[in-house]
Structure 1
């Protein structure tokens, strides 16, 4: 394992972009849990419209994306070699 940011410049840039996107997805999930409303394509969908199960499934998908973005971002920044 190398020092933080010791990879190629494009890997560092993409890693930073992935972590910024992870923060944005995290804010989206937090707001969805707080308000019961989540953006879905071009409209905002509420928990009441979707039903509890579908709404929670959508939150779970967003959390999975958040996790993948975090892994990809830290892999590129810290050169963990998790993704090849």
Structure 2
């Protein structure tokens, strides 16, 4: 996505799944170390990685709805340039 997107990605918000963080919950709570593969990739690309608060399904639902809206726009429009896409998304 970093190579394909015409605009600069500055931050991403993810859930606390194993694919995105090494933070654990339950009896072994700890802060994310920043050494997870996804964190390192974001750091290399200059992207701020934010984690949704645990036990807050409202936040995850909000992100899923927003992603669905972006998907609808991308599937229903033709863009003539990267600038055209950026104006529509932003």
Sort the TM-score into its range (normalised by shorter chain). Answer: 0.3 to 0.5
- More relative contact order, 1 or 2 (CA 8 Å, 6+ apart): 1
TM-score (norm 1): 0.33
Bigger share in helix: 1
TM-score (norm 2): 0.32
